[in-house]
Amino acid sequence: MKWTRWIYRVFVARSDRRVMSSRAARPAEVIFLAVLALVVRGGVLLAMRDSLVADPDAYFRLAGNLVAHGTLGQGDVPSAYRPPLYPLLLAPAAACGAGARAVIAGLHLALGVATVLLTYRLGRCWGLGNWAALAAALVACAPILLAQSTLVMTETLATLLAVTSLLALSAAAEKPASGPPAAAGASIALASLCRPTFLVFLAASALVLPAMADRWSDRWKAFLAFVAAAALVLSPWVVRNQIHFGRPIAGTTHGGYTLLLGNNPWFYGYLRDGAWGTVWDAEAFKADWSACLARGDARSELANDRLAYAEARKAIRHEPGMFFYACVVRVRWLWAPLPHQVDAEESLFRRWLRYAAGGWYVLEFALAAVGLAAVLRSQRLTAAGEDEIDLMARAETGSDWQRTWLWGLLLILSFTAVHAFYWTNMRMRAPLEPAVALAAAGGVAWIAARVARRKQLP
């Protein structure tokens, strides 16, 4: 049929002439995606502007304290309970007083638009061709990213830094000299200062990236450049914590509580006896934890962090079976398509919003599975009378899937591994949304090519 031939020619087929420009962005697509992101993200921010008043994780309070006292903490007392990058970005908003909400909205809008455009660039880099625009559009409209952009939390910034890191790693894998690996190390380290979960991805990338080079001398250069750049970015935070806490903290002092929140007798009891689909009421746990701090010798957040780790290990040793079951539940929560109902008196409108988000992710996950399968199988797609394409990568430029799609898979596995142990929910997979959207676009490309091929066969 004519429409299938048109789809194939426009989005899938590539001639030798097109190969040279397959990675080049098309201005019309860039403009369309920028406008789409501005309209969708801006519309949601405008409709839910009151959400920017809340400060659930105290990031804006930290920014305000930084402006008022010059210290990232409380008063003159420094803190490492939260990572530093997002409060630093919020500091100009905190200095604006009554205009803070508008400044935060503008910041999140700019971060969101940049994420969409860089996802498009990453899709081109990974060989999706014009289907990269679909991946970017999915990111522009992703329910989790839309919801989190209306909150004073790190997800919007972390998602942008995730895409930036994937782009830098892809460039470093193609040219594993000292320059590109250094940029990759710096990018992931910067992301770690926003979300410490990236530290695991940083370590994994440091081990995998040198393997992309053909010679051992180049492997050592890539490794040293990557590690040196990452250390340079992380060093101000690490040195600051060494000075104030006597410990070179690269992450935060929040990890112990996050581990304990997902590994304690009350949560394990909920997993055993709680009704399916209900939300855990953590009030009893929080009351016990407050009492534990009150009767203990902990007087600093570092000591509290160590105490939380000790209590979590105690719960794990006491019920190892429940710990393993809790790990499975946490992974399921991280990748759940349908958001939890958190309000017993939920309105019909909010219920349908949840169902719409669930339907979105069911479809996207299905398409992503198709795309990932095609990538892992090095699937080459052909259509009668057309050029062969390769979703895996671009053999014409000397690139393969290990130099491109591997990084998205490694990011997903790193985050999933961390959140199997620590407390998690849907919003914590926000930085993974671009990688999932790219895989989903690859799935659509594979399906479209198969349909076109079948229609053209006699």
**Cα 133 to Cα 117: distance, rounded to the nearest angstrom:** 9
Euclidean distance between CA atoms 345 and 354, whole angstroms: 14
Domain limits at 83?
2-14+23-456
For CA atoms 59, 65, 66, 72, give the dihedral sign: negative
pLDDT tens readout for residues 328-374: 999 999 999 998 876 767 778 888 989 999 999 999 999 999 999 88
First to last CA, the chain: 12
Other CB atoms closer than 10 Å to residue 215's CB: what's the count? 9
User: Tell me, what's the pLDDT at 311?
Assistant: 94
Residue 122 and residue 104: Cα distance in Å, rounded?
A: 26
Q: Which residues contact 271 (CB under 8 A, 6 or more apart)?
A: 322, 325, 326, 329
Extract the residue ranges of the chain whose pLDDT is less than 70: 1-24, 277, 296-299, 342, 344, 378-402, 457-458
Q: What is the DSSP letter of 99?
A: G
How far is CA 282 from each of CA 249, 286, 346, 418, rounded to the nearest angstrom? Answer: 28, 6, 20, 21
Residues 6+ apart with CB under 8 A from 27: none
Helices 216-245 and 179-192 cross at an angle (nearest 10°) of: 30
- Residues 6 or more apart from 213 whose CB is under 8 A from it? 176, 219, 221, 222
**Predicted TM-score of the model (pTM):** 0.90
Distance of CA 303 to CAs 150, 185, 336, 340, Å?
34, 31, 34, 34
Let me know if 78 is exposed, middle or buried by CB neighbors in 10 A (0-12, 13-18, 19+): middle
Provide the pLDDT for residue 375. 83
User: How many domains does the chain contain in total?
Assistant: 1
DSSP string, 6-70: HHIIIII---HHHHTTTTSPPHHHHHHHHHHHHHHHHHHHHHTGGGGG--TTSHHHHHHHHHHHS
Buried b (16+ CB within 10 A) or exposed e, 312-324: beebbeebeebbe
Nearest to 107 by CA among 123, 90, 128, 95: 90
Exposed/middle/buried for 296, CB within 10 Å: 0-12, 13-18, 19+?
exposed
Between CA 153 and CA 199 the distance in angstroms is 19
